[in-house]
Structure 1
Amino acid sequence: MTERMYLQIEALQTELEENMEAEEMQSCLAGQSARIGNGKLPELRLPQFSAEVLDVPVTVRLAVLQ
């Protein structure tokens, strides 16, 4: 009796784990496809420089020194 119950519980546990893995895979795939094409990337603005060397922004000078 106890062994039969153990085997039934083991079979149910295996089935549950397989179903959970399948659901997880489906939700993963659905989540990836929903993210594609969502949102807009921010506009990239390049720094503007004049001919003067001292006119370079401080952040650019610090980046060059590193």
Structure 2
Amino acid sequence: MSLDMLDDGCRMMRENLRRRHPECREAELEELLVAWLIERPGAEHGDGVGRPGVWPRVRR
């Protein structure tokens, strides 16, 4: 189910990018989508509240 939601989100963002950049070819749209997935505007440090953590966690 989570992967289905990821696929749906990518499809929606791809269409959004297509509307914003009608001059772009498919390869360019894919590059914009990948850049968006890497940057994640508004969620640069994750989706949760609080301090960002490191992985794997360091045991004390």
Which interval holds the TM-score relative to the shorter structure?
Answer: 0.3 to 0.5
Structure with bigger RCO (C-alpha 8 Å, 6+ apart): 2
Which structure would you say has the larger Rg? 1
TM-score by length of 1: 0.32
TM-score by length of 2: 0.35
Larger helix proportion of the pair:
1
